Amino acid sequence: MASGEEVSNKQVVLRDYVSGYLKESDMCMATATITLKVPEGNSKAVLVKNLYLSCDPYIRGHTKSIQGGYADEYFKPGSPIVGYGVAKVLDSGHPDFKKDDLVWGFTGWEEYSLITATESLFKIHHTDVPLSYYTGLLSMPGMTAYTGFYEVCAPKKGEYVFVSSAFGAVGQLVGQLAKLLGCYVVGSAGSKEKVDLLKTKFGFDEAFNYKEEKDYDACLKRYFPEGIDIYFDSVGGKMLDAALLNMRLHGRIAACGMISQYEFDQPEGVHNLFNIITKRVRVEGFMVYDYYHLYPKFLDTMIPYIKEGKIVYEEDITEGLESLPSALVRLFSGKNAGKAVVVVARE
Amino acid sequence: MASGEEVSNKQVVLRDYVSGYLKESDMCMATATITLKVPEGNSKAVLVKNLYLSCDPYIRGHTKSIQGGYADEYFKPGSPIVGYGVAKVLDSGHPDFKKDDLVWGFTGWEEYSLITATESLFKIHHTDVPLSYYTGLLSMPGMTAYTGFYEVCAPKKGEYVFVSSAFGAVGQLVGQLAKLLGCYVVGSAGSKEKVDLLKTKFGFDEAFNYKEEKDYDACLKRYFPEGIDIYFDSVGGKMLDAALLNMRLHGRIAACGMISQYEFDQPEGVHNLFNIITKRVRVEGFMVYDYYHLYPKFLDTMIPYIKEGKIVYEEDITEGLESLPSALVRLFSGKNAGKAVVVVARE
C-alpha cells in the first residue's frame, strides 16, 4: 500500500467496562478505515503497521471502572484495546522514528495504529533475536521483571525468593535473574506442566501448583522453612496473605500485580499485614513506566544473557488479530503456555 | 535500704495470653522478694529501682499468643509485664552503668528489677528536662516518631502528612516534626478535646475525631483533596484501607502499629492494596529497636527543640504501681490525655 492510502482497519474493541470474569464476548471485532499518513498538525505522531501484539494481565485492570483500578487513560469503551506490540513505521512526524523502523511500545489492537503517545515507543536496534521477544522478554514484561527485581527487591546472593505467577512473562524472568544472582528460588504456577517446566527448563529450585494447595501458609512453610526474603508478587489476595506470614526479618515484597483479584469488584481482604511491622517488611508497589530510563542498561544485560543461553524464554504464539480475545481470556484461565503473543502480520 | 538486702517486690502480673479486649482483671498484683544485688555469675546485669513506668500500645501486642503477634520473648504469662521505664541503678555488673545512675529502657512492672537485657538500656545524661520524659518523648516513643518519620517516611517540605492516633506519644511528635519540616499535617484522634488540642497546642493544620466519621474515605478526601504523601499509621484496619485509596503517587506509609486490630483474634481484611501498585506506594513496617544507634543524634535534635519550646508534650501521669492496669486499659479506650506514665517512686 502507498503512504497516504485509505485502507480498512480491523480492530478488537472492548464493548464496555467489565466486572467479574473477563469473557471473549466482552470484546468484538470491528472494521474502521485509516489513512496511512500522519495527519497534518499532529506532527509528532507515528503511523504504524502492527506485527505482533501482546496479551498481558495488566490489561484486565484497565477494563475495570472501579476506584482503585489502573488509571484508565489508555482505555475507552468502544475503542480498540491499547496494549504493547511490535510494529513497523509507515509514516512518522517524530524525529526519532522514520519509515520502516521497527518499534515496540503502546499501540492498538488493530491492523494499523496512529500512535500519539510516543514517549513509550522504543526503536528496535537488535534484530538478531526474534522480533516477537519485543512483546515480552525485551519489552515491558522483561523490564518489569528486571527493574522490579533489581530496583525494588534489592536482592542479595543467597536470599530466599518466592515468585508467584512464575510461568508468566514476568515471573519466568524474575526467577532466572534470581538464580543468576545465586538466590534460592521457588515459583508457583497453575498446572503440573508449568511446574515441571519451571524446574527443568527455567532452573527454579522448586515450584508448586497453587491449585493443588489447600493451605498456602503450610505450603510456603514447606518450601521456605527458613522464611522468605523476597516475594515477587503478581497475584495478591490469599497468596500474599500467606506470604506475609512467612516473611523473614527485613523482607521485601515487590507488588507487581494482583491477578487473583481482577475478577472481583470488591477485592478480598488481606489479614496478615501486622507481620510487616514485626518483621520490618517493605511492601512496594511499582510500575515499569517509572524505570524506562534504564532500558539501555537492561538491554546491555539481557542481549548477552539471551545469546549465551543463560536466559531462556517460552512464548505462546497464536495467529491473527481475531485470536486476541481468546488469547487474552486464556491468560486468566492459567492455560497459556508462556508469554501470549498474537501475530497480526509478519512484516 | 542497703545493697544486698532482701526486700519485698510488688509486681503487676499478666495472668495469661489475652484475646479480645484487654481488661484490668487480666492483670493482678503480686508480691515477690528480691535481693538488691546483681547475682554472682550474672556480671553484666543491672539491678534497678523503678521510678516511672510507661504504658504503651505495643504491650497489647505482646499479650497475644496468636501467630503474627510481636515476638513474645518479652512476655511470659505469670511474670511481671515487661515495659519501658525510668529507673535508678542500685547495683551493676555492667561497665557502662554504676550505682545511682539514672537509666531508661526495658524494665519490669514492679518496684525493683534485675535487668539482664542491657542492650536496650540507656544512661540518662540530660537531667534538666523532666525525668518522666524518658518514658516517652525522649525514649522509645520519641525515637519511634523520629526514626519512623525521618528514616522510613523520607519526608520532604510541603508534603501532605496524615498521622493516625495523633494524640498518642508517637503521633504528637510525628505531627510536630512534620510541621517543623514545613509539611501540611492532619491528625486523627478519639475525642473532641484531643482534636482541639492537636490544633491549638500541637500545631496540626487540621484534626478530626475518627469516632464521628462514618466514611473514612470521604473524610480523608475532605482533609486531603490533593491526596496523602505520607501516612504515619499506628492504627491499621479500616483507616489504613481508606488511606490506601487516598495516597498520592510515590506515597509512603510507615507501618508503626495497628492499635485498631489488637482486640481481634483474626485481624480485619485490608481490601485496597491494589492502590500501592497504581500509585507506586511504599508500605514499610519498622521497629524502633533497629534504629537505637541514632539515639545520640536524636537527642541532639530534641533537647534544643524542647528547651526552645518548639516541641511540646502532654503527659497523663498517675501515681502508684497499682494504677498500671487501669492506665494500660485506658490507652485502648481513647480516654488517656497524653503519654501514659505511672509514678512508682520519685527517687
- Which residue of chain A is at minimal alpha-carbon distance from B289? A280
Contacts of B206 (CB under 8 A, 6+ apart): B185, B186, B187, B199, B223
Which residues in chain A have Cβ-Cβ distances shorter than 8 Å to B240? Answer: 273
Q: Taking CB atoms and an 8 Å limit, are A278 and B287 in contact across chains?
A: yes
Evaluate if residue A200 carries a pLDDT over 90.
yes
Which residues in chain A have Cβ-Cβ distances shorter than 8 Å to B278? Answer: 68-71, 285, 287
- Distance, in Å, from the CA atom of B87 to the CA atom of B155, rounded to the nearest integer, reads 35
A279–chain B nearest CA distance, Å: 7
- Distance, in Å, from the CA atom of B322 to the CA atom of A16, rounded to the nearest integer, reads 66
Question: Alpha carbon of A103 to those of A53, A126, B24, B259: distances in Å?
Answer: 12, 11, 69, 52
- In this complex, the residue of A267, A278, A283 whose CB is nearest that of residue B274 is A267
Q: Taking CB atoms and an 8 Å limit, are A276 and B284 in contact across chains?
A: yes
Number of H helices, E strands in chain A: 9, 15
List pLDDT tens digits, range A163-197. 999 998 899 999 999 999 999 999 999 999 999 99
Rounded to 5°, angle at Cα A255 from A253 and A257: 145
DSSP secondary structure, A11-45, as one string: EEEE-S---SS--GGGEEEEEEEEESSPPTT-TT-
Residue A241, pLDDT score = 97
**CA torsion sign, A128 to A131 to A132 to A135?**
positive
Which residues in chain A have Cβ-Cβ distances shorter than 8 Å to B71? Answer: 278
Q: Interface of chain B against chain A, CB under 8 Å?
A: 61, 67-71, 236, 240, 245, 255-258, 261, 266-287, 290
Which stretches of chain B drop beneath a pLDDT of 50?
A: 66-71
Picking from A227-236, A240-249, B7-16, B246-255, which range would have the lowest pLDDT averaged per residue?
A: B7-16
Q: Is there a contact between B185 and B277 (Cβ–Cβ < 8 Å)?
A: no
- Which residue of chain A is at minimal alpha-carbon distance from B246? A68
Alpha helices in A31-139 (DSSP H): 58-62
| Residue B180: count of CB within 10 angstroms of its CB | 13
What percent of chain A is helix, strand and coil (3-state, nearest 5)? 35, 30, 40
For chain A, what is the largest distance between any 2 Cα atoms, rounded to a whole number of angstroms? 65
Evaluate if residue A1 carries a pLDDT over 70.
no
In the numeric block, the cell 500501592 is attached to B276
ipTM of predicted complex: 0.85
- In this complex, the residue of B67, B245, B283 whose CB is nearest that of residue A68 is B245
Which residues in chain B have Cβ-Cβ distances shorter than 8 Å to A220? Answer: none
- How far from the centroid of its chain's Cα atoms is residue A145's Cα? 9
User: Would you state the cell numbers that stand for residue B347, as one nine-digit string?
Assistant: 527517687
Residue A332, pLDDT score = 81
Looking at the DSSP assignment, which residues form a beta bridge with residue B45? none
Which residues in chain A have Cβ-Cβ distances shorter than 8 Å to B284? Answer: 276, 280-283
Q: Is there a contact between B82 and B117 (Cβ–Cβ < 8 Å)?
A: no
Q: Is there a contact between A191 and A212 (Cβ–Cβ < 8 Å)?
A: no
In the numeric block, the cell 500519539 is attached to A116
Looking at the DSSP assignment, which residues form a beta bridge with residue A54? A341
B227–chain A nearest CA distance, Å: 14
Residue A73, pLDDT score = 55
**Higher model confidence: residue A39 or residue A75?**
A39
Contacts of B194 (CB under 8 A, 6+ apart): B166, B167, B207, B209, B334, B337
3-state SS assignment for residue B229? strand
Residue A46, pLDDT score = 96
Q: Is there a contact between A241 and A271 (Cβ–Cβ < 8 Å)?
A: yes
Q: Is there a contact between B53 and B324 (Cβ–Cβ < 8 Å)?
A: yes
User: Would you state the cell numbers that stand for residue B22, as one nine-digit string?
Assistant: 484487654
- Distance, in Å, from the CA atom of B30 to the CA atom of A97, rounded to the nearest integer, reads 82
Residue B333, pLDDT score = 80
- Distance, in Å, from the CA atom of B347 to the CA atom of B345, rounded to the nearest integer, reads 6
Residue A68, pLDDT score = 45
Residue A70, pLDDT score = 47
Evaluate if residue A326 carries a pLDDT over 80.
yes
- Which residue of chain B is at minimal alpha-carbon distance from A259? B274
Rounded to 5°, angle at Cα A91 from A118 and A139: 40
- In this complex, the residue of B236, B274, B286 whose CB is nearest that of residue A274 is B236
Q: Interface of chain A against chain B, CB under 8 Å?
A: 61, 67-71, 236, 240, 245, 255-258, 261, 266-287, 290
- In this complex, the residue of A61, A269, A282 whose CB is nearest that of residue B270 is A269
Q: Taking CB atoms and an 8 Å limit, are B276 and A290 in contact across chains?
A: no
What average pLDDT score do residues A204-229 get?
A: 98
User: Would you state the cell numbers that stand for residue A315, as one nine-digit string?
Assistant: 512464548
Q: Taking CB atoms and an 8 Å limit, are B280 and A290 in contact across chains?
A: yes
Q: Taking CB atoms and an 8 Å limit, are B273 and A240 in contact across chains?
A: yes
- Going by the DSSP 8-state scheme, the letter that residue A262 receives in this structure is T
3-state SS assignment for residue A111? coil
Q: Taking CB atoms and an 8 Å limit, are B271 and A270 in contact across chains?
A: yes
List pLDDT tens digits, range A2-57. 567 899 999 999 888 877 788 999 999 999 999 999 998 767 999 999 999 999 88
From the list A122, A148, A146, A147, the residue with the least C-alpha distance to A135 is A122
What average pLDDT score do residues A276-293 get?
A: 95
Interface mutation vs chain A, best among B73, B274, B283, B284, most A CBs within 10 Å: B274
Q: Is there a contact between B117 and B49 (Cβ–Cβ < 8 Å)?
A: no
A36–chain B nearest CA distance, Å: 35
DSSP collapsed to 3 states, B283-342:
EEECCHHHHHHHHHHHHHHHHHHHHCCCCCCCEEEEECHHHHHHHHHHHCCCCCCCEEEE
- Which residue of chain B is at minimal alpha-carbon distance from A282? B284
3-state SS assignment for residue A251? strand
Share of chain A above pLDDT 90, in %: 76
Q: Taking CB atoms and an 8 Å limit, are A69 and B278 in contact across chains?
A: yes
- Give the mean pLDDT of chain A: 91
User: Would you state the cell numbers that stand for residue A171, as one nine-digit string?
Assistant: 515471573
Which residues in chain B have Cβ-Cβ distances shorter than 8 Å to A278? Answer: 68-71, 285, 287
Q: Is there a contact between B253 and B281 (Cβ–Cβ < 8 Å)?
A: yes
Rounded to 5°, angle at Cα A239 from A233 and A243: 75
Domains of chain B are 6-137+313-343 (3.90.180.10), 141-289 (3.40.50.720)
Which residues in chain A have Cβ-Cβ distances shorter than 8 Å to B279? Answer: 285
DSSP secondary structure, A151-202, as one string: IIS---TT-EEEESSTTSHHHHHHHHHHHHHT-EEEEEESSHHHHHHHHHTS
Contacts of A42 (CB under 8 A, 6+ apart): A93, A114, A116
Q: Taking CB atoms and an 8 Å limit, are A285 and B284 in contact across chains?
A: no
Rounded to 5°, angle at Cα A194 from A189 and A195: 70
From the list B165, B138, B215, B188, the residue with the least C-alpha distance to B332 is B165
Q: Is there a contact between A332 and A60 (Cβ–Cβ < 8 Å)?
A: yes
Query: What φ, ψ does residue A159 adopt, rounded to 5°?
Result: -75, 160
Cβ-Cβ pairs closer than 8 A, A with B, add up to 114
Residue A83, pLDDT score = 92
Residue A64, pLDDT score = 65
- Distance, in Å, from the CA atom of A189 to the CA atom of A168, rounded to the nearest integer, reads 8
Evaluate if residue A333 carries a pLDDT over 60.
yes
- Which residue of chain A is at minimal alpha-carbon distance from B256? A277
A67–chain B nearest CA distance, Å: 8
User: Would you state the cell numbers that stand for residue B226, as one nine-digit string?
Assistant: 490533593
Q: Is there a contact between B119 and B293 (Cβ–Cβ < 8 Å)?
A: no
Q: Taking CB atoms and an 8 Å limit, are B278 and A258 in contact across chains?
A: no
A229–chain B nearest CA distance, Å: 14
Q: Taking CB atoms and an 8 Å limit, are A285 and B267 in contact across chains?
A: no
User: Would you state the cell numbers that stand for residue A62, as one nine-digit string?
Assistant: 484497565
Contacts of A171 (CB under 8 A, 6+ apart): A145, A163, A164, A165, A187, A189, A232, A234
Q: Is there a contact between B115 and B91 (Cβ–Cβ < 8 Å)?
A: no
